[in-house]
Structure formats: structure tokens, C-alpha cells
Structure 1
Amino acid sequence: MLIGFGAPVSGAWGEPGALGRFAQRAEELGFHGLWAFQRLLVGADQRLGPEYQSVLDPLLALSYAAALTSRIRLGVAVINLPYLSPAYLAKQASTLDVLSGGRAEIGLGTGWSEPEFRATGSVPAPRGRRTEEYLAVLGSLFAGGTASFEGRVYSLPASRMLPRPVQAGGPPILLGGSADAALRRAGRIAAGWVSSSRARLADIERGAQVVRRAAEEAGRDPDDVRIVVRGVVRAGARDDRFPLSGDWEQIRAGAQRYAEAGVTELFYDLNWDPRVGGPAADPDAAVERAEEILTALAPGA
């Protein structure tokens, strides 16, 4: 199982100094990937956790990290696809891939926040068809040459988009979602599945099985399908609700449980720690705490 790290994009440590510092340190310490997430805005009447109150744009943050690193993969888990056209995301993803030398990874979801849907003039339904057509447009544009697509949700006139991505076929596309239909879709048409922060270990294990079974039924090698999990870390006191909680030995043991559940990449995300990703956290203390956790949980530590 590969080990990644959540990029500093939320709250007290979501600022340029910490983003550059932890991107470089994560690469130096051997982490496989650096992962961001998207939260466009919070409705005035919404009750969302502290990690959602102040969030950098994921693709801009990863572009910043790309300029300061050379090897670590750069992923977003996830972008809500109804918020922007597939052509626009194809341009952004291709640009990140070019600027990073072929290190971009894109996770896509269909969203859940009504204020964000209203603010972007978007709707998630029909989720399945929307997602499948979205991936079709991305694939067409990533391939180079003349691309075109005509679907019920999206259309693309015959056109070309350059420069093409560095990675053949474009950045890998992972799909989020927890419903069986979403899991099967990830197994059929995507590079894999990326979990949400709310997924329990049992959900991950079952989801991985559904994804891989769908891949096999679609004629794909299930071992090639990726299962990427956001690991919410609670360093310090043990909390049985969080496999990645407690002392370092307990957190590493929790990571092993994810590997046994079929996960191919786990990224430790500190944005969900209110003492790091909370907007009211002390910035210096947040960075100090994050540095300690990053170092202790580095691959091979």
C-alpha cells in the first residue's frame, strides 16, 4: 500500500508557507502523493465542520506545490464535476499535468452541498449519466487530435485542445461516491475509487470488493483498479471510531488494517484535525503539530 499525505489547504495551515514547506517535506520523506480537496463555499445557514470553513482551491494549490517539487504525485479528492464543464476541467488538468511533468491525478464526485449547486447554477442529476458523459469528454480531449462528443448532458463540438497532458491518456481519473451504483461505475470506467472522509473501515472494505467485482465483470483486471482512501488522523488519545488514532504504533497498525481491506493508497489527512485544519487554530502550533505527525508517519519511519 502506498502512503500519501493531505496537502495544507484548510484552516490555519492553509497558507503559502505551510503549503510549500509540507509539499517539499512530504517528497523528501518518501510520501507517494500529495492530496487536496475542494470546498467552494459554505452557506450562511450550513453547519459544516471546521475543515470546510476556509479552503484553498485544490488545483491552484497543487500547481503551487508542483513548482516546488519534482517527484511526488499531485491529486485532488475530489472535484465536484457538476460545478464546471468537462472542457474547462480538461484544460485545468492538462495544464497541471504539463506543469508538473506528468504527476496529476484527478478525483471526481457529484457533490452534495445545495448552496454550492445554486452558486454554480448546477445540478447533480442524472448522476450516473452525467459522470459517464463527463469522463467521455475528458478522455476525448486528453487524447489529442480532433475531439467531439454529443450526449444528453454534455456536448463537445469538433475541436482540439493543446497542449495535451504529459501522461498518455491524461491524468488518471478516480471516482468518489458510496452508493453501489457509484462504486460499480468506478470499477467499470475509472482508474479506481477514492473514499470520502466519512467512510468507515467496514465501508472501505466492502466498497473495494464492489469496485473490483465490477471491474472484473467489465473485463478489466481487478488488481489494476486503485482504491485510494483519505485517512483522517487523530494523533494522541485513542478513539475507536478512527482507525488512525492513538500513538504512532496504533496509527500504523490502523494503516495496516486499511491495507488488509484492499486499499492501494492511503493518504494521511491532517486537514480534519481541528488543531491543524481548523480556521481558529494557532498557525504556529498547527504547523508544529503537522510536522511532528508527518515525520512520525513517513513511509519507512
Structure 2
Amino acid sequence: MRIGFAVPQYGAFADPEFIGSASARLENMGYDSLWAADRLLAPLTPSDPYPGGDGTMPPAFATFFDPLAALTLAALNTRDVRLGTSTLNALWQPPVVLARSLASLDLLCGGRLDVGIGLGWLRDEYTAAGVDWKGRGARLEETLDVMETLWAEDVVEHKGPLWTVPPSHVHLKPAQRPRPPILLAGFTPAALERVGRRADGWLGAALPVPALRTVWGMALQAADRAGRDPSALRMVMRVNPTIVDKPAPPDQVPYAGTVDQVVEYLHAAAEAGADEVFVDVQATTRSRGELLDVAESFITALRAS
């Protein structure tokens, strides 16, 4: 099981200097990967409840550093650790622009990028970005089509319902060929079918282990139906725990618990199919020192268990 940590980028941690220095520190601790998330705004009256806890969006989300800029800082301050988005809301910008940004980042980091893409959950952000909430699945399919064409072909051309790219030279290509790994998020049958049919893996979130097995099984079955090798798919799972000093009730783990309790859950998730897990405590830690101390505690416990 590979072990990752969230790049500091929101709330009190949305500081360029700290993002760079913390990324170097996390790599030196022994983390395998660093992951950046994506939020545009924190509405005063959200259109949709936050998909966690009591449905209230963490106040820290009101200050959110751009994910690709955060990973650029991480790339410039690390050597070997992989860098990923979990998740990038890819529909807020045209795919030709996003493809250029991601190719540039993959070149800058020397081919260490994992492109994790999701559709988001907050309609307010789509309204603010000027993108229709309806038809997100079809928009994502065409976005992937355009980006894969731009990354792989010598002469690119695309004609689709949403975008037209005239025959063109686009010689800027990612370092990883034919493209960086693409991981897709989502829990609906349609999202999991898309993972199995065309992605390199699934971006999951902490669930009770039986539910995690069920959801992952849906993606693997979809790969098999599409004539792909299910064993080639990766599961990368995020956990956002509140770390407490005394053991939490079992039904609260991994959403709250001691480091050891969360680590025990992560090992169970690995047995359920997770190839990689990563921890994000930006919403539940109060200082830079505390965040790095928690990171040290996790990597030590995980490596020792």
C-alpha cells in the first residue's frame, strides 16, 4: 500500500511558502504521494450540503489555493514523490486549456503527475464558473476525449457536441506517454462504469469497509464488461479524519479516531482493494506545526504496522 498526504493548500495552510516547504518535509518523511483538492468558493447559503459530517462545509474551504499552482510548488520542492489531484473539477474550464496546463505540469515535475478528476457536488460552483450543472457526465466524456487526443496525436482534431478543435499542431505533450494516469471519482453506477471503461483507477473516499468492497467491485465489473483487465485498475482512497487523543467509538472510525485507529482502518481498506491511501487533516488541525506533527505520526505508524 502506497501512502500519501494532502498538499497544504486551504484554510490556514494556503500560503505559497508553506506549501513548498511542507511538500519537501512530507517527501523527506517518506510519503509516496502528495494530493491537491479543488474548491472555488464557500457560499453563505450553499445549494447542496457538504457530503460529510453534518453536511456543513468546513470553514477552511473559504480560503483555497489553486490545485495546479499548489502542485507546481510541490513539484519545485520535491524530487521523487508523485503528485496528484483529488479531485480536480475538470469541467470548469475548456479541455484544450486544461490539457495544456496538465501537460505543462507533468513536464515540470518530470512525469510524476496523476490526473484525478471529479464532477464535484456543489451546484453553486458551476453557476459561478458559468458551466451547466446538467449533462456533467457527457461533458466529462468529451473533456477526456479532447485531452487524450491533444496529448497523444501529432495532428489534433476534434468535432463534438460541445467543442470543436480544427486540425492543428499541438506539440506540447506530457512527459508520461501517451498520457498521465487518469483517475476518476464518483460513487454512482454511471461514474463507476466510466472508471471501469476508460480510467486507470478510481478516486475513492473513506467508507465502511463492506461498502468500499461493494463500490470497488462495481468498478472492477465494469472493466471486465469493457474487455479491460480489472487488475490493472488502481484504487486511491482519501480519508479526512479528526484525530483525537482517546479511542473513538468504532462507528466513528475513520472519520474520527486516534492515529492508530485510523491506521487500522487504512490497512483494512488496503485489504478491500485500496492500492494507495492518503490523509488530509487541513480542516481539523489548527496550526502548521500540528499538521506536520500529525503527518509524522501517521507515516511512522503506517510504516511500523
TM-score by length of 2: 0.89
2:168 to 155, 159, 162: 159
Matching of residue 117 in structure 1 with residue 126 in structure 2: yes
For residue 229 of structure 1, what is the aligned residue in structure 2? Answer: 237
Alignment equivalent of 1:59, drawn from 50, 68, 73: 68
- TM-align CA RMSD: 1.8
CA distance in 2, matches of 1:83, 1:174: 18
| 1:96 matched residue in structure 2 | 105
Q: Is 1:217 matched with 2:263?
A: no
Whole-Å separation in 1 of the counterparts to 2:16 and 2:90:
26
CA 1:195–1:81 in structure 2 vs 1: closer, same or farther (change >3 Å)?
same
SS at match of 2:254: coil
Q: Which moved more, 1:95-104 or 1:215-224?
A: 215-224
Contact 1:234 1:242 in 2 (8 A): no
**What amino acid is the match of 1:217?**
R
- Aligned partner of 1:4 in structure 2 is 4
Deviation (angstroms), 1:29: 2.0
Offset, 1:126: 1.8
Partner of 2:261: 250
Match of 1:205 among 213, 218, 221: 213
Q: Percent identity?
A: 34
Question: What letter matches 2:260 in structure 1?
Answer: E
Cα displacement string for residues 180-221 of structure 1 (whole angstroms, at most 9, x for unaligned residues): 110111111011111247x55444322211111111111111
- Does structure 1 retain, via aligned residues, the 8 Å contact 2:12–2:60? no
Partner of 2:281: 270
Q: Deviations over 1:111-162 (max 9, x none)?
A: 2222211211101332332221111111101114111111223322212223
- Equivalent of residue 78 in structure 2, options 66, 69, 83: 69
Q: 1:186 to 1:42 in 2, by over 3 A?
A: same
| Partner Cα distance (1:196, 1:151) in 2 | 32
**Count of residue correspondences:** 290
Partners of 1:81 and 1:111 within 8 A in 2: no
Q: After TM superposition, give the deviation of residue 271 of structure 1 in Å.
A: 2.1
Match of 2:52 in 1: none
Separation in structure 2 between the aligned mates of residue 18 and residue 203 of structure 1, nearest angstrom: 36
Listed as ranges, the gaps of 5+ residues in structure 2 are: 47-55
For the Cα contact (< 8 Å) 2:82–2:114, is it kept in 1?
yes
Instruction: Answer whether contact 2:282 2:291 (CA < 8 A) is retained.
Output: no
**Structure 1 segments of 4+ aligned residues over 6 angstroms from their partners:** none
Residue identity opposite 2:199 in structure 1: A
Give the aligned residue type for 2:229: D
SS of residue paired to 2:84: strand
Q: How far off its partner does 1:300 sit? A: 1.9
> Which residue does the alignment assign to 2:45?
45
Answer yes or no: is the 8 Å Cα contact 2:115–2:181 preserved in 1: yes
Letter in 2 for 1:300: R
Take 1:83 and 1:260, find their aligned partners in 2: how far apart are those partners? 35
Other structure's SS at 1:106 match = strand
CA distance in 1, matches of 2:70, 2:107: 15
8 A contact 2:184–2:201 mirrored in 1: yes
User: Does 1 or 2 have the higher relative contact order (CA < 8 Å, sep 6+)?
Assistant: 1
Distance 1:145 1:222 in 2: 30
1:291 maps to what in 2? Answer: 292
1-structure distance, mates of 2:262, 2:27: 21
CA contact (8 A) 2:117 2:183 kept: yes
Look up the equivalent residue of 2:215 and give its one-letter code. Answer: G
Bigger shift: 52-61 or 146-155? 146-155
